[in-house]
Structure 1
Amino acid sequence: MVFLSVAVVILTALVLIDLVLTGAVIRQLRDTEKQLVEMNTPPDTGMAPGELMPEFVSPDSDLSRTDLAGKRTLVAFFSTGCRHCPAQAERLAERADEIAGRGITVVSVLGVSEGDTEELSPLLRKAGRLITENGSGEVAGAFRAFSTPTLLVFGEDGVLVANGHSLDEVLGGR
């Protein structure tokens, strides 16, 4: 009987240790999951729906807010060092005819870092107007587009109607 009592006490101690360790593992998994979500969640696009298109002038002074007045406009921000930008630039080029057919003017802003090549330029030119800036330039700053890709759709009245990090997110899938 003493042997059975000792076995029950040892077994109880082992079960309690197992519960404590399991709780610690679950807590660690939750912390890790929270960190992964934070790492994979893109930063806010900057501008919120309902805001007016900011005043801006392209570096070559060929395009400004005034030139886009009265037009539905998609302003898309890309950068040469962005890993998600090539896929979105390709999607934009593929859908260029459809977007134009919907009466939307496309303006792409490409931030080029020193030493990077402009591989995205040909794709972005297929979709519409292309503005090239060094790094995160004045146009990106005016639109508060501090992460790429960032896509902003403005109505004819110059008010932001949709924002996001993918073309399908702001215009819907095809």
Structure 2
Amino acid sequence: MKKNINEFAFELRNKYPNTYNDLEDDELVKLWLKKFPGDKSKIIDLEDHLQQVTEPIFDLNDNVLYIPNSITDRLPAMVRNELKKLHPSKQEEFLEEYKRRKKSVFVGYMCWLIFGWQYAYIRKWGVQILYWFTGGGFLIWAFIDLFRIPKLVSNYNKDVSIEVMRNLKSIS
């Protein structure tokens, strides 16, 4: 069933919640059709509204991120700016590697609760050994970490994003 521009944009926003809310309907559909030109057949009024989108050419000057806002909001500004300069396929490579290597706050809490391994989880082995030798800082440090784990994991994930970007740029 063919849809008009607004219906198609609404469908995309429902499919990827909190991702394309900052774009107008026409802009969203243009961006989508650049990435997936085969979806032109799903839209009724394509010729009337989107005459500019005729072929799947990716202009590197577009400075468009093809990564969901829920992820880009957590990345450092430097990484976001570098991602905008990359071809969409390279952005996808970044996203796959970042998702593979990033850590979860929930798992960080589980490591803290069950084993006291929250620093080992984010690969800070020196701090982890000190934590063990002091018995969690006589349990004071352990209590403070209850509130610090989200920030520790967030900082780790930012470092991972920088490293993934560095590796991606050195390969290409």
What is the TM-score when the length of structure 1 is the normalising length?
0.27
Structure with higher RCO (Cα < 8 A, 6+ apart): 1
Higher helix share: 2
Higher strand share: 1
What is the TM-score when the length of structure 2 is the normalising length?
0.28
The structure with the largest alpha-carbon Rg is 1
